[in-house]
Structure 1
Amino acid sequence: MKRTGEKLTIWYSWTCGLILSAAVFSILAYLVFKGAGTLNMKLIFGDASPLRAVFLQQRVFEGLFPAIVGTFILVALSIAFALPIGFATGIYLAEYADFRVKNAFNLIFDILAGIPSIVVGLFGFALAVFLHKHYSSSIQPCLLISSLALAFLVLPYIIRTTQIALEGLSPDTRLTALALGATKLQNLFYVLIPQSLSGMVSGLILAIGRCAEDTAVIMLTGVVVAAGVPKSALAPYEALPFYIYYISSQYTSPEELMNGYGAALILLLLCLFLFTLAFVIKKRLTYLAFYRP
């Protein structure tokens, strides 16, 4: 009876995994089928010269180039704000916090992870209004406010994955360097962090995906149609998620809807590039940690 239960559990797990994989591949295949035919230079640059557009010598009005640049800068800024704080907080909770502090902060971060993105967007909008009223009239919903709001949104994921990755290390790994005379800080930087990089990078990947796909936050904090490439952090901007949302809800012709499929495919390719970059950085850091001369 016990053996039968184990086999049923294994078969159920395999079935669920295959169904999930089939659903993902079906969505990707449908998106490629619909959007691959629209991928061309005109979709990205419109009537502008690609070379002049890349060097910001000519503005792109009907292409996705400003949205691609805006999305990339938005994700980069959000991760730059969230990553140091998230890693530092996760390390503190895993290695230095006592039991009561850890439980209190775990509850707080779990609640933060469950906050809807629209609430974070409203908070970012309220922050922009407050700064505009009390500090400077030049401050308005902009790229900086959006990146700060997204950083706040993804912070719990980075903190929790960093904490879990460090706490999941075996006692032998934790004690070996200490037994050889290393300090706790040396043990942390030379042993624990390199050993847990895979888990920590998984939080980074989750954060990149969440920043790249979220629409509710940026819709309230600075993204607009036809803003062009952002000239500064305090300027409005374009982004691919908002373009996809706008086209899918207000398209006036089948060609515009097909452009939305193309934009979704470009967004996936941009996320794939950022994920690959995260893995390369992880491999490089691991190599430097274990094979430095």
Structure 2
Amino acid sequence: MQYSLYKVVLAIFTISAICLVYTLLGFVLIKGFNTISLELIFQDTNVLDAILLKQRVFDGIFPAIVGTLMLILLSLSFSFIFGFASGIYLSIYANKKLKEYINFCFELLSSVPSILIGLFFLLLSIYLHEKFLTNFLPSLFLSSLALALLIMPYIVKNTQYALDNIPKHIKLLSLNLGLCKTKNLFLVLIPYCSKELLSGVFLALGRACEDTAVIMLTGAVASVGIASSIFSKYEALPFYIYYISTNYGDETELNQAFSAALILLVISMSLFLVTKLIQQRVKRKNGYY
């Protein structure tokens, strides 16, 4: 009887959590779907000319969409390179004391508020601009580095966890057959846990899509068009949503923020599905399905 009661209580909390998620998604969908249109994205600009970058979009959110995609891809690239390497080192090469210390550092980093990371990179850009690089200003590159630092702990811990949880006989089999430690890592261990390694990208992807505090301080602006290079200021959907929701003049403008949020949600889900497909393809290719 007591066990059944616990089961019912847990089921209620689970269903409540699912309902909250779908309520949130439904609210954004209802508020944003009615005002989403090509005019919102491109305004008076020809759609094909805008996509081919032949004509600038002035009032639409197309530059913010492009800027968001560039920001996500750059920050994921930086964080994956450093996070993946750090996770491998912690799992395979670091001794126990060093591993504990480095893990503590990454746990501390994961607990740092994003606004502090944004402030640090803003001050770093000011210092470098005044002392060494006069052309170094808040930009897409700086925002990508700041976001990469913010999401790197997720990738580090996931990589370390995936490698640590490989069965011992898998780890030792190729070593016993004559492979060196490095070849065993890249030819056996990483392919074996490739699905789990890509799971870290899922976690990092969501954080890279949504953070506003970091990009607000390091290069995102309300209206500048598509960034001409990674060292230019840029537009991004999270900042656009923040800007409109704090400066709207009527309900129509507020609904435009919901439309932008819906587009951001679609981008996030699309990238998630692409990563999921890559994950499944890698797993099939390695023969673990």
* TM-score of the two chains, using structure 2 as the length reference: 0.95
- Please show how residues 54-133 of structure 1 align to structure 2 within 5 Å: 54-133=51-130
1:103 CA drift (Å): 0.4
Residue 33 of structure 1 corresponds to: 30
- Please show how residues 148-227 of structure 1 align to structure 2 within 5 Å: 148-227=145-224
Distance 1:14 1:176, change over 3 A: farther
Partner SS, residue 34 of structure 2: helix
CA–CA distance in structure 1, aligned partners of residues 124 and 286 of structure 2: 41
**Preserved CA contact (<8 Å) 2:192 2:286:** no
Identity %, equivalent residues: 43
2:46 is the alignment partner of 1:49? yes
1:6 CA drift (Å): 4.1
**Preserved CA contact (<8 Å) 2:195 2:283:** no
2:263 is the alignment partner of 1:266? yes
CA–CA distance in structure 2, aligned partners of residues 245 and 67 of structure 1: 12
* TM-score of the two chains, using structure 1 as the length reference: 0.94
CA–CA distance in structure 2, aligned partners of residues 139 and 99 of structure 1: 40
Residues 45-80 of structure 1, C-alpha deviations (whole Å, 9 max, x = no match): 011111111111111111110000000000111011
**Preserved CA contact (<8 Å) 1:77 1:147:** yes
Gapped regions of structure 1 (runs ≥ 5): none
Structure 1 stretches of at least 4 aligned residues deviating more than 6 Å after TM superposition: none
Distance 1:203 1:123, change over 3 A: same
Letter in 1 for 2:183: Q
1:218 CA drift (Å): 0.3
Letter in 2 for 1:163: Q
1:84 CA drift (Å): 1.1
Count of residues in Structure 1 that have an aligned counterpart in Structure 2: 288
CA RMSD between the two structures: 1.5
**Preserved CA contact (<8 Å) 1:143 1:235:** yes
**Preserved CA contact (<8 Å) 1:190 1:289:** no
